[in-house]
Structure formats: C-alpha cells, structure tokens
Structure 1
Amino acid sequence: MLHAREPVTETNADWALGPFKHPEKAQPVIKPDPTTRFDCPIRKESIPWEARHTFNPAATILDGRICVLYRAEDDRGPGGIGGYTSRAGFAISDDGVNFTREPKPVFYPAEDSQKEFEWTGGCEDPRLATAPDGTFIITYTQFNGTNGRNWRIGLATSPDLKTWTKHGSPFEGTPFDKARIKSASILHKEENGRLVAAKIGGQYWMYFGEESVHAATSTDLIHWKPLTDEGGGLRHIMKTRDGYFDSVLTEVGPPAVLTDHGIVLIYNGKNATPGKGGDPDLAKGVYTCGQALFDAKDPSKYLTRLDQPFFKPELPWEKSGQYKEGTTFAEGLVLHEGRWFLYYGCADTYVGVASAE
C-alpha cells in the first residue's frame, strides 16, 4: 500500500509522467478550416462546421495509428465562448504530429434521444477510453447552449471511432444524471504497448469534475455510480488550493494511468487572481496542466500532486485566440511506439501536442 507524501515543489517528481516537450518548430497540429462543410441534420443546411475553432482533443490508438477527436465550432450562433455549436472532428496520424483530417464531423447533435441536451450548444470536450474488447468509449459535455445553458456529462460507444451509439448520462438512475458536471476520465493501464481501461477491485474507475475531483465506478464502462459522502452528495477526493495554479478549478483531463507508483491523473488547473488566492507567477484565468497521484489499490484515495504546473502556455498560439488568458488544456493522452503523446487545446482555438519518453 502506498503512503501519503509531502507535496513536491518541482514541476516533475519520480511518480509523474514526462517531462513533456513541444516538437521542434512547434505549430498547432489542427487549426480551424472554413472550407469544409457538413449537412447539419438539425439546421437542414450545409454549414462550415469547423470554421471558427478547433480545440480540446481526445486521443486513442486505432490499428497502430494515433487518432484524435477534436472539438470544432461552426460560425453559427450569437458568438462568444459557448455561443457556437460544437461537433467532434476526426484526424489520424502515423507520427503523432502530422494529421490527415476527415472532411465531416464524426460525432454531433442530431435528431436523436439526446437532442434536448445537445442543441444548440453541441457535443463538447471529448475524452476517449478503450475497453479491453476494443470498443471505444467517449465521454463528453452535452451543452444545450442558447436553449437554457445547461450541461451534463454524456457517454457513447463505437467500434471504429466513426459510428457512435449515444447512451445519455453515465449516471442514469442516480441523483446526478442531470447534474451540471463536466470532464470525465476513465482509468487505464498499459497492456501490450497500448492503454486499455483497467479494473481495480473488480470495477472500472472514472475521475470527473471541474471545480473538484470526484470518482465513480462501473462494471460495464457505460453505467456509472458516483462515490458519495455521508450526506448523499458527491464525494470530493481532490479540491482546489489557494495560492496555486489550481486555485479556481481542478478540471479532470485525459485518461488516468495506473503506474508502478500509483494512479497518475493529469488535470487542468485554472488560476485565480494573483494576490487574491491565485498563483502569483501566473496570470488570472490562465489554464495550466497538473498531475496528481492516487492510491493504486484505492483509486479514491488522494496521495499528492505537483505544486507547479508541468505544462503551461508559452508559445504565442497557446496564449492568443478565443480564450485570451491562454490555455494548455489537456484532454488526450496515448502511448505510441514507446512515447507518450499529450494532446491539448490552445486558447480555445487550436490543438497542440507535446511528447515524452
């Protein structure tokens, strides 16, 4: 059994993944494209579905190649953050840096059972998981946009990343099926050189949450039961910290990974105002990437985390775009040919990548 440790002060520790570095002469690996069009099944018209922004990517491996599902926003709607419809585009790569993109989205709002939760805001911020049998699971934010500005976690499954079955809320049948919750990461382990969903204690585990980290368990990767506290509310297993980069949010990132040291969770911290609860070395509102360690035998047991972000906005295109404060918002993590590839959203406008041994 692992034991609690004192917080570390460096940007990496013996248990942390990385260090992650940009490719040489780094540029966004996916940018908006105003030329691609899609016949929207709800609007009943052809629209430039990725004209405005392409960001916040999920990632996985299919047939030995890296696949990314990225959030794309069209140019319809009132504008501003959350003011356009989001759909998921598909891109594939042999080297993790150079991608070939599909001309149409592969996951989007439609005339289906989830329309009331996904229209007009769309399907936002995907995370991908791989079941032991090869089935792909996507968790994402269902956002109804201008039809009420409500959101919740949605879940869908696919055999090939292009044809999807939507299952609605993973918390169906619990008090949290319609709760305003974002960001869900399913625990994985390395198996034969790839990441697959892992069971601990006979159950799959999911970390989720934006303002703090929560956990849930499942036996089938589709139906999930959140851990609760004595009052019946969501159990908080990791919270924000005054004075640090994660002083406003500890938003769950890509799949958590079971390692020899424990469970490593990459998450996205949002900074408060410096001098008023925020990290004085970072700007107000900036998103950076942190790592936390949980117990390998009890995934709900928090052990420690990095005191400084291991990855943060540094390049011009990570600090300029729709979100002016700057973001490196990690959502995709894969193991490919012995290297980690971390995919992240940049200022709510582009997709970037960093890699590590």
Structure 2
Amino acid sequence: MIRNIKIALFLAFFSLSLHSAHAQHKSWMLGPFEREVNQKPIIEPREDTDFEDPMTGNNVFWESMATFNPAAILKDGKIHVLYRAEEKLGENEIGGHTSRLGLATSEDGKSYQRETEPIFYPAEDNQKEFEWTGGTEDPRIVETADGKYVLTYTQWNREYPRLAIATSADLRNWEKHGPVFQSWKDGKYHNIETKSGAIVTEVKGGKLVAAKINDKYWMYYGVPHIWLASSEDLIHWEPIENHEGNLAPVLSPRPGYFDSWLVEAGPPPVLTDRGIVVMYNAGNSNEIGVKDLGNRVYTGGQALFDAKEPWKLLDRTDQPFIKPEKDFEKSGQYVDGTTFLEGLVLFEGVWYLYYGTADSMVGVVKWIQD
C-alpha cells in the first residue's frame, strides 16, 4: 500500500514537472533551443593572430583577450559569424580595450574557420571621432531582399556609446553610415546612450531577410529599456515617440522577475504568423528580482509584439529560456555570467542562436523546427 502511494506521488510529481516545463514554453516562442552534449564554446580567444592597426601603426594581437557577442548571417551556403574581439593590455578592465569585429565561417554548423585579421574596425575614416579609441562593438546583422547586408553596431569613443549602421555586399568591404540618430531632430538623441539595434526579419526562401511592416522596416533597440525605430531604407532611422515628443519604451524591466535590472534587444526579431518574436537580453537585480538567479546575471527572454503594430506588446516570458549554466558561461571578463544573445540564423532547417559568454567566448544552441 505504501509502495503504491509512493509510486502515485512520483507519477503525480513527474506529470506536474512535465506540465510546468511545457507551460514555460509558450506556443508563439522560438525554440526550445537545445545544447550539444558536452557543449563547448565555438570561438575562444587566441594569441597567434595579429594585424597592423591603422589608427596607431602598431602590430596588435587583436583577439587575444576576448571573443564574444556575435552576429550571424548566411552567405554562399555558409554560416558567417561576426564576433567582437579585444586584445590583451595587461589588465582585465571591461571597457578598457579597443573592440574590433572578427569573422568565422561554417559549412556544417559544427566546425568554424576563422579569419586571421578583423573585418571591421576603427580606421582613418569619417567615423573615427565616434569609434576611436573604444572601437566597434556588439554587432547584429540582416540581409536585404536584394542580397545586401546591413550591420548595426555600437560605436564607442569613450564619451557616448552610439548605435550605428554599416552596409556591405560581401561582408569584407564596408560603407559606414554613422550614428543612426545623428540628424534626427537636430541630433536630439545623438549624445545619449544608444545601442543594440535588432532589425525585424522574416523567413523567405529558407533564410531570414529584413521584413517590411506597413511599408517600413522596424528596429528594436536600447538598454535598460527597449525602444523602437522605423526606416524606409534601413540606413536612415526615426525613433518612435509619443504625443509629447518623448521616447516610449516598448519593453521595460520588471521587479520580481529575471529581467528586473534591464532589458536589451537581442538578435534580429522574427515576424511569424503569431506576431513579432523578440528575443532579448535580461539583467537580474537580486534586490528586486530573482534571489537565486544571481546579481547582474544576463539571461535570455522572449516577447511577442503585434505584427501590424510593432509597439504593441502581446505577451512575454516569465522565466528565462536560456541562462548561464556551463563553466565557460560563468567565468571570464564578466564573472557574474552571461548568455548574451545577438546572432540568429536558419540554416538547412535548423535554427542556430549565437551568444556571448561572460564577455569572453562565443556559444551556440540549436532548435530543429518541426
């Protein structure tokens, strides 16, 4: 009798656990994303690659300190991962290095071949005043319907971090278009922190391309709130303001949840038949957030916005769908731990989600869509 009661209790608990796990994954979400068995980082710092820095003329080991926060795109049947890299300076201070973007490619989603020199970096060009000496940081990238590539990234001159746009036809030769809000209303938002631009995409021809809604492109951006901007050409952007002429956040931190400290746009959102799915990076504050998650830990959430009114929030997750679990996600420059989402591709029927780990390496998780 006692044995039967124990079995019944176990089955009830097991059933409840399955129900809870299922309830955490809402029907509109992307995923669930799975880790590889014995998962390891796919990109790590290396000390044998150098190049001549055009700003100083010095030979620098440009990715010897950290390789993290990756964008991802398909080109020529391969996955291309653009990752942020920093060189060693004899110190571990976050923000004290120059950031440049490196490139790794994969034909199978398993092994990655890396370029020996960065493909995007500060140079003696018309963006020098915004990019030197901090560099070019935290990319996101989308492809246009005609096969061009649009890069959003952060320019860091150690005065203001500014969201900027660059375009390319081959991922190696770039035209920098400068800060996205430099000219908007006489520079109203030019000298404030802007970063993390995620342009809405949709699946076409088996891959993600920039999507138009109401004849415009849309971009979620910003931290500690997420704001919204629109564009007719993917280069010139207008932030969405309310009737008072102020920025209106479309997603904000929530006391009591995993995103109690901050929210920050992740990889390019995806327009689906349920709405716009926005993956976002979430920071936790122990004081007002989730006690056992850890202070300042970065996890990942998802939010659903209306397909015709991109500012209208329909739903969001109450728990992170990804969080630091592996050693390489909880050790590095950012010891509190991060799974910082920035890259998403659909490759041969499999979704690959790329993220930075502890401001030091690059990881990936996968979802095989039914």
Shared fold (TM-score, shorter chain, > 0.5): yes
Matched, 1:354 2:365: yes
Aligned match of 1:319 = 330
Assess if the C-alpha contact under 8 Å between 1:77 and 1:84 holds in 2. no
Aligned match of 1:119 = 132
Off by >6 Å, runs of 4+ in structure 1: none
Kindly report which structure 2 residues correspond to 1:145-156, keeping only aligned pairs within 5 A, or say none: 145=158, 148=159, 150-156=160-166
Matched, 1:36 2:49: yes
Distance 1:54 1:10 in 2: 35
Aligned match of 2:182 = 172
> Gaps spanning 5+ residues in structure 1: where?
1-7
Assess if the C-alpha contact under 8 Å between 1:76 and 1:85 holds in 2. no
Aligned-partner residue type, residue 68 of structure 1? V
Matched, 1:61 2:74: yes
Distance 2:339 2:85 in 1: 17
Superposed displacement of residue 281, structure 1: 3.0
Assess if the C-alpha contact under 8 Å between 1:216 and 1:226 holds in 2. yes
Superposed displacement of residue 78, structure 1: 5.9
Superposed displacement of residue 171, structure 1: 1.9
- The counterpart of 2:277, out of the listed 264, 281, 284, is 264
Assess if the C-alpha contact under 8 Å between 1:77 and 1:83 holds in 2. no
Aligned match of 1:283 = 294
3-state SS in 2 of match to 1:126: strand
Superposed displacement of residue 223, structure 1: 0.4
Assess if the C-alpha contact under 8 Å between 2:92 and 2:333 holds in 1. no
Distance 2:51 2:23 in 1: 46
Matched, 1:70 2:90: no
Superposed displacement of residue 266, structure 1: 0.4
The structure where helix makes up a greater share of residues is 2
Matched, 1:144 2:157: yes
Q: Deviations for 1:303-350, whole angstroms, at most 9, x for unmatched residues? A: 110000000000110011110000000000000011110000000000
Aligned-partner residue type, residue 113 of structure 1? N
Superposed displacement of residue 170, structure 1: 1.6
Assess if the C-alpha contact under 8 Å between 1:117 and 1:142 holds in 2. yes
Distance 1:9 1:180 in 2: 38
Distance 1:32 1:109 in 2: 20
Superposed displacement of residue 11, structure 1: 3.3
Aligned-partner residue type, residue 341 of structure 1? Y
Matched, 1:219 2:229: no
3-state SS in 1 of match to 2:41: coil
Aligned-partner residue type, residue 60 of structure 1? I
Q: Deviations for 1:168-190, whole angstroms, at most 9, x for unmatched residues? A: 01223212233211101000000
3-state SS in 2 of match to 1:116: helix
Distance 1:26 1:257 in 2: 26
Larger Rg: 2
Return 64-73 or 232-241, whichever deviates more.
232-241
3-state SS in 2 of match to 1:220: coil
3-state SS in 2 of match to 1:340: strand
Superposed displacement of residue 241, structure 1: 0.1
Percent sequence identity over aligned pairs: 52
3-state SS in 1 of match to 2:130: helix
3-state SS in 1 of match to 2:282: strand
Aligned-partner residue type, residue 354 of structure 1? V
- The counterpart of 1:190, out of the listed 203, 206, 213, is 203
3-state SS in 1 of match to 2:328: helix
Aligned match of 1:12 = 25
Superposed displacement of residue 89, structure 1: 0.1
Distance 2:341 2:324 in 1: 11
Aligned-partner residue type, residue 189 of structure 2? F
Superposed displacement of residue 25, structure 1: 2.0
Superposed displacement of residue 231, structure 1: 2.4
Matched, 1:134 2:144: no
Distance 2:55 2:169 in 1: 25
Assess if the C-alpha contact under 8 Å between 1:30 and 1:350 holds in 2. yes
Distance 1:153 1:94 in 2: 31
The RMSD of aligned alpha carbons is 1.3
Distance 1:165 1:224 in 2: 17
Superposed displacement of residue 10, structure 1: 4.2
> Gaps spanning 5+ residues in structure 2: where?
1-20
Aligned match of 1:341 = 352
